Amino acid sequence: MFSLTHFIVLLFCTLGSVVLAFDGDLTYYQPGLGSCGETSSDSDRVVALAPGQFESTPDACGKMIQITKGDLNATAKVVDKCPVCTLGSIDVSSTVFQEIAPLSAGRVQITWEYM
C-alpha cells in the first residue's frame, strides 16, 4: 500500500524545489559500513534515514539534511538506512546528536529537511 507520506516524499523528490520538513525522533548510533557503501566513524557528521524515506528518495546517498530542535541546528550527510526508525525519525552519529541534545537524553523530538 502506498501511504500518503510516501506520496509526499515522492512528490518532494520530483519537484525538488519544494521544502518539506519531517518530524520525528532523533537517536544516535555507532556508524560503520552503511547502506551507501561508505564506511563512517562516530566523529563523522552522518545520518541514517528510515527505510521508507531512504528507499523513496532518489539518490539519497550523499544528500545533506538540516536537523532542528528549537534554536539548535545540525547538519549531516545521508550514508545509511535505519532499519528500526519510523518514517520521519533519523539516527545520527553521536557527534551530530550532541549538537542537539546531551547523549544522556537518548531520544529527542526534532524536525529535519533536505538541504
**How does pLDDT run across 81-110, given as a tens digit for each residue?**
999 999 999 999 999 999 999 999 999 999
Rg of the chain (C-alpha set): 13
Structural domains of the chain sorted by starting position, each given as residue range(s) with its CATH number in brackets = 4-114 (2.40.40.10)
pLDDT at 12 over 60: no
**Confidence category of residue 58, pLDDT binned at 50, 70, 90:** confident
Best CA proximity match to 75, nearest among 56, 104, 99, 58: 99
**pLDDT for residue 23:** 96
Mean pLDDT of the chain: 89
**Confidence category of residue 19, pLDDT binned at 50, 70, 90:** low
**pLDDT for residue 9:** 54
